[in-house]
Amino acid sequence: MKKERKVLLGVIAIVSIVLASGITLYLLQTHGRQQLTISTTTSLYDTGLLDTLKEEYENSHPEVTLAFISAGTGIAITHAMNGDADLILVHSPSQEYDFMNASYGVNRKIFAYNFFIIVGPTEDPAGIEGLGPIAALQRVCEYGRNQSGQVWVSRDDNSGTNTKEKGLWSEAGYDYDVIKNEAWFVSSGSGMGTTLNMANELQLYTLSDIGTFLKYSAEGLIELEGLVQAGESLLNVYSAIAVNSTKVQGVKFDLAMEFIQWIVNEEAQSIIENYGVEDLGSHLFYAAAQIVETSSPPDIYGWIRNYAFFKSQGQFYECPPEWRVGNYDLYSYEALLATNLQFRHSATLFPSTSSIQHLKRV
Amino acid sequence: MSLIGDLVEITLRSLFVSGMAAALATAIGLPIGMFMGLKKFRAQHVLKGIFNGLMAMPTVALGLVLYLVFSRSGPLGIFELLYTPWAMVIGQSILILPIVISLTTETIEHVDPKIRELALTLGADEKAAGAAVLRESFGGILLAVSAGFSRAISELGVALMLGGNIIGITRVLTTAIALETTRGEIALGLGLATVLLSLMLIINMTLRVAEKRVRWWLWE
């Protein structure tokens, strides 16, 4: 019996050592720090931008730990609705609108933008290079229907990129749910990286976010060509939305607001603008806060407004007044713009009632 | 933090989370497995079949179900376990419990019944006879525990859904491999996979070498 007792004691000792060290490790990492949980889209996280922002933020806010949960925009929003995230960073205006309209989200700030890109085989069999995005998709579809192989691969995972793709197909005059079942159309059901690999292996076209594409090209993983880029209809806008603490119990609203204030300040905006330029020779993201606040340059501002602003009482807002909580000095630029406008149009910018219509793409 | 520092930290966390999961699953699964192996009762085969079948539990599905349970809006939301290592420990122990139970049952059943009878005739009580069977099936139980541990440390679904792959808090080897792969850092992903596999080879080889010594020591 003594032997068994010794073995038992040994096992208990080992288990408690592992347990104690694990708990110590965990407490050391989280001790005295509040954790701000941020649910975010993969295209932001996978580029590594958020790790850089996290480092900067935690340097200047030693009492806070940022915890990023990287998932598609759809899942990010679900996390927030369940109260498992305090803040979301996403890129899908229509889904954001629904989220805020159901009063789950407040105090939206647009903080970055870039452009999606249509990529394909270097030989470009369908001949879409240099076309506009809509014409290019029409060409791809025609080409696909006139031959037997596969031509286009779609993520088909309800991510922000996939939502964008659906919008583009419908602009081009096709029903995504119909063409999805045609022989030339491949649904990968996977993330951007996997989908790009698939496009590369099978010589297909696809819609990609610029970050993943540049990264995969730079790493020599794919030999696809960027065929259609920039332009209004490929615009991609990232915004930060705080989870509404009156609707979802237990979220850290003040911490979330502190982060939103920070991400639109100059320091963070310059990190965003310059991220990856050195390594990849091209911008992955562009700073958006200044553009929104000053309405300039007018062309980009107009694109952002048309695509990512929400309409309330006949006015465009990055966040309609009804969906703002507290005073965090996020939208004071509107008063300045309004004064300027009043001189010109004597129009009022601030509606009081709350009938809101989501701005469909113009 | 340096790359090596990160690597060591992630590896230690993997060992801790899956080690705890294996310990928890053993604490619960070993008695159940012994009971099922030693006793005869009705529906035993059905129960065995159920545990055998549960060994095929899809990790993502288990992760999803447990996410809904641990979510702030879920039934256990008040404990705020989601996105902590504890949630991963619980999830992985549930995942590997059927493995520990099934393999333990199997190994106990295959111990020669004469050993137990012999112990009893030599004047041992039920408890001591049970211990004799346990000693005899030591190798099989070791396999049950190490198989459970291996499954836990190499699974992705539960770790990702319950841990969230948060750097410095819940990032483990498998979630790091998945992330680096989607990031296009293939070399880093393969490197991490090599670390995981080497670790498991070393641990299992050590266990097997140690087994002989422990066995000898138990027997005297």
Domain boundaries, chain B: 3-219
**E strands present in A96-234:** 105-120, 152-154, 185-187, 206-209, 225-229
- Residue B165, helix vs strand vs coil: coil
Measure the CA angle with vertex A326, ends A321 and A331; round to 5°.
Answer: 50
Q: Are A330 and A261 in contact (CB under 8 A)?
A: yes
Alpha-carbon gap: B42 to the closest alpha carbon of chain A (Å): 32
pLDDT tens track for A12-66? 787 777 777 778 777 777 777 889 999 998 888 888 899 999 999 999 999 999 9
My answer on whether A134 and A153 are in the same domain is yes
CA dist., res. A241 & res. A271, Å (int)? 20
**What is the 8-class DSSP label of residue A86?**
S
Nearest to residue B66, comparing CAs of B54, B79, B75?
Answer: B75
Of residues B69 and A362, the one with the higher pLDDT is: B69
Cβ contacts from A onto B, under 8 A = 88
User: What pLDDT, on the 0 to 100 scale, is given for residue A359?
Assistant: 38
My answer on whether A249 and A353 are in the same domain is yes
Residue of A nearest to B129 (CA): A1
Q: Do the domain assignments include residue A284?
A: yes
Contacts of A332 (CB under 8 A, 6+ apart): none
User: What pLDDT, on the 0 to 100 scale, is given for residue A16?
Assistant: 79
- Chain B, 97 to 126: residues with Cβ < 8 Å from chain A are none
Nearest to residue A224, comparing CAs of A355, A348, A123?
Answer: A123
- Residue A186, helix vs strand vs coil: strand
User: What pLDDT, on the 0 to 100 scale, is given for residue B6?
Assistant: 86
A84/B71 CB distance under 8 A = yes
User: What pLDDT, on the 0 to 100 scale, is given for residue A350?
Assistant: 44
Nearest to residue A206, comparing CAs of A165, A235, A159?
Answer: A165
Is residue A75 within 8 angstroms of chain B, CB to CB?
Answer: no
Q: Do the domain assignments include residue A283?
A: yes
pTM metric for this prediction? 0.84
Amino acid, res. A210? I
Burial of A304 (0-12, 13-18, 19+ CB in 10 A): buried
User: What pLDDT, on the 0 to 100 scale, is given for residue A289?
Assistant: 95
Average pLDDT rounded to a whole number, residues A221-244: 93
CATH number for position A38: 3.40.190.10
Which of A233, A259, A292 terminates a domain? The answer is A233
> Which residues in chain A have their CB less than 8 angstroms from residue B164's CB?
67, 69
User: What pLDDT, on the 0 to 100 scale, is given for residue B28?
Assistant: 97
Looking at chain B, the number of H-run helices and the number of E-run strands are: 10, 0
My answer on whether A103 and A239 are in the same domain is yes
My answer on whether A86 and A123 are in the same domain is no
My answer on whether A130 and A85 are in the same domain is no
Alpha-carbon gap: A226 to the closest alpha carbon of chain B (Å): 17
pLDDT tens track for A237-259? 999 999 999 999 889 999 999 99
User: What pLDDT, on the 0 to 100 scale, is given for residue A27?
Assistant: 76
A84/B83 CB distance under 8 A = yes
**What is the 8-class DSSP label of residue A335?**
H
CA dist., res. B145 & res. A280, Å (int)? 47
CA dist., res. B9 & res. A25, Å (int)? 9
Which secondary structure element, helix H or strand E, spans residue B155, and what is its range? none
Which of A214, A233, A252 terminates a domain? The answer is A233
Choose the closest CB to A48 out of B73, B131, B183.
Answer: B183
Is residue B179 within 8 angstroms of chain A, CB to CB?
Answer: yes
Q: Do the domain assignments include residue A181?
A: yes
Q: Do the domain assignments include residue A184?
A: yes
> Which residues in chain A have their CB less than 8 angstroms from residue B71's CB?
82-84
Alpha-carbon gap: B84 to the closest alpha carbon of chain A (Å): 9
pLDDT tens track for B114-153? 888 888 888 888 888 888 888 888 889 999 999 999 999 9
- What's the start-to-end Cα distance of chain A, in Å? 82
Residue A339 belongs to what domain range? 34-114+235-357
A67/B12 CB distance under 8 A = no
Residue from B17, B20, B142, B182 whose CB has the most chain A CBs within 10 Å, to mutate: B182
**Fold classified for B3-219:** MetI-like fold (1.10.3720)
A82/B73 CB distance under 8 A = yes
Is residue B164 within 8 angstroms of chain A, CB to CB?
Answer: yes
- Chain A, 223 to 262: residues with Cβ < 8 Å from chain B are 248-250
User: What pLDDT, on the 0 to 100 scale, is given for residue A360?
Assistant: 35
Q: Are B153 and B200 in contact (CB under 8 A)?
A: yes
Rg (CA), chain B: 20
Is residue B217 within 8 angstroms of chain A, CB to CB?
Answer: yes
Is residue A12 within 8 angstroms of chain B, CB to CB?
Answer: no
My answer on whether A105 and A250 are in the same domain is yes
Q: Give the count of domains, chain A.
A: 2
Residue of A nearest to B9 (CA): A25
Beta-bridged to residue A88, according to DSSP, are: A39, A241
A25/B16 CB distance under 8 A = yes
Identify whether A62 is preceded by a cis peptide bond (ω within 30 of 0).
no
Per-residue confidence at A357, pLDDT binned at 50, 70, 90?
very low
My answer on whether A263 and A335 are in the same domain is yes
Contacts of A183 (CB under 8 A, 6+ apart): A144, A148, A150
B72/A22 CB distance under 8 A = no
The distance between the two most distant Cα atoms of chain A, rounded to a whole number of Å, is: 95
Please say if the pLDDT value at position A2 is more than 70. Answer: no
Choose the closest CB to B82 out of A84, A216, A219.
Answer: A84
> Which residues in chain A have their CB less than 8 angstroms from residue B82's CB?
84
My answer on whether A243 and A108 are in the same domain is yes
Is residue B210 within 8 angstroms of chain A, CB to CB?
Answer: no
Of residues A5 and B134, the one with the higher pLDDT is: B134
Q: Do the domain assignments include residue A202?
A: yes
Residues of chain B with pLDDT under 70: 1, 217-220
CA dist., res. B162 & res. B86, Å (int)? 9
Alpha-carbon gap: B181 to the closest alpha carbon of chain A (Å): 8
Is residue A83 within 8 angstroms of chain B, CB to CB?
Answer: yes
Is residue B168 within 8 angstroms of chain A, CB to CB?
Answer: yes
My answer on whether A51 and A158 are in the same domain is no
Structure tokens at A246: 């009156």
A215/B184 CB distance under 8 A = yes
Q: Are A197 and A153 in contact (CB under 8 A)?
A: no
Q: Are A138 and A172 in contact (CB under 8 A)?
A: yes
Query: CA A126: distance to chain centroid?
Result: 30
My answer on whether A82 and A163 are in the same domain is no
Q: Do the domain assignments include residue A97?
A: yes
Query: CA A169: distance to chain centroid?
Result: 20
CA dist., res. A177 & res. A159, Å (int)? 16
CA dist., res. A355 & res. A163, Å (int)? 25
My answer on whether A330 and A262 are in the same domain is yes
Listing DSSP states for A33-73 in one string gives: -EEEEEEEEHHHHTTTHHHHHHHHHHHH-TTEEEEEEEE-H
CA dist., res. A140 & res. A144, Å (int)? 6
Alpha-carbon gap: B106 to the closest alpha carbon of chain A (Å): 22
Please say if the pLDDT value at position A230 is more than 80. Answer: no
Own/partner long-range contacts of B182-189 (Cβ < 8 Å, ≥24 apart): B182/A42, B182/A46, B182/A191, B182/A192, B182/A193, B182/A194, B183/A46, B183/A47, B183/A48, B183/A193, B183/A215, B184/A193, B184/A212, B184/A215, B184/A216, B184/A219, B184/A221, B185/A219, B186/A219, B186/A221
Amino acid, res. A131? L
Listing DSSP states for A208-275 in one string gives: EEHHHHHHHHHTTS---EEEEE-SGGGEEEEEEEEE-TTTSTT--HHHHHHHHHHHTSHHHHHHHHHT
> Which residues in chain B have their CB less than 8 angstroms from residue A29's CB?
168-169
Average pLDDT rounded to a whole number, residues A145-166: 92
